[in-house]
């Protein structure tokens, strides 16, 4: 398990799991492999949506939310590690997601140290999406 992945520190994670409700967390192939290595089958937790790999929701919450806690916290996807930092494609900036219950308590500038990591991850996910869509197009 890799505990050295870059992440946003959320001091509210022990009392809040709102980001795990009705999630559409996009994940990468490396996230999928890390989760599978911990014993899960991708068919249980993964779906594809518009070329992106997305965590499944079960009854309105992330597949991995158990007893108000993340059951795969140590191997959770990189997007979960960054949240509530998100990349907004409309303004081409990293922002704090306003859907986060505690978004007003964070200052995006405090997380400049991982902003490059966020961009790298977003680019990885976008490249994987394009690859999947091209592969589907070739099959037609």
- Compute the distance between CA of residue 108 and CA of residue 8 in angstroms, rounded to an integer: 10
So what's the pLDDT on residue 1?
Answer: 41
- Compute the distance between CA of residue 27 and CA of residue 124 in angstroms, rounded to an integer: 10
So what's the pLDDT on residue 140?
Answer: 75
So what's the pLDDT on residue 33?
Answer: 97
pLDDT tens across the length of the chain (140 residues): 445 677 777 887 778 888 899 988 999 999 999 999 999 999 999 999 999 999 999 999 999 999 999 999 999 999 999 999 999 989 999 999 998 989 999 988 888 889 999 999 999 999 999 999 999 898 87
So what's the pLDDT on residue 4?
Answer: 66
């Amino acid at each position: 398990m890799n505990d050295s992945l870059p992440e946003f520190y959320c001091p509210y994670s022990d009392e809040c799991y709102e980001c795990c409700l009705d999630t559409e967390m996009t994940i990468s192939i490396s996230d999928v492999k890390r989760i599978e290595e911990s014993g899960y089958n991708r068919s249980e937790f993964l779906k594809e949506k518009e070329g992106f790999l997305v965590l499944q929701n079960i009854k309105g919450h992330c597949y991995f939310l158990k007893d108000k806690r993340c059951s795969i916290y140590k191997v959770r996807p990189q997007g979960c590690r960054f949240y509530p930092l998100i990349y907004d494609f409309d303004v081409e900036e990293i922002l704090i997601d306003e859907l986060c219950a505690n978004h007003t308590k964070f200052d995006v500038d405090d997380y400049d140290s991982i902003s490059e990591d966020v961009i790298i991850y977003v680019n990885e996910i976008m490249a994987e999406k394009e690859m999947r869509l091209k592969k589907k197009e070739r099959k037609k």
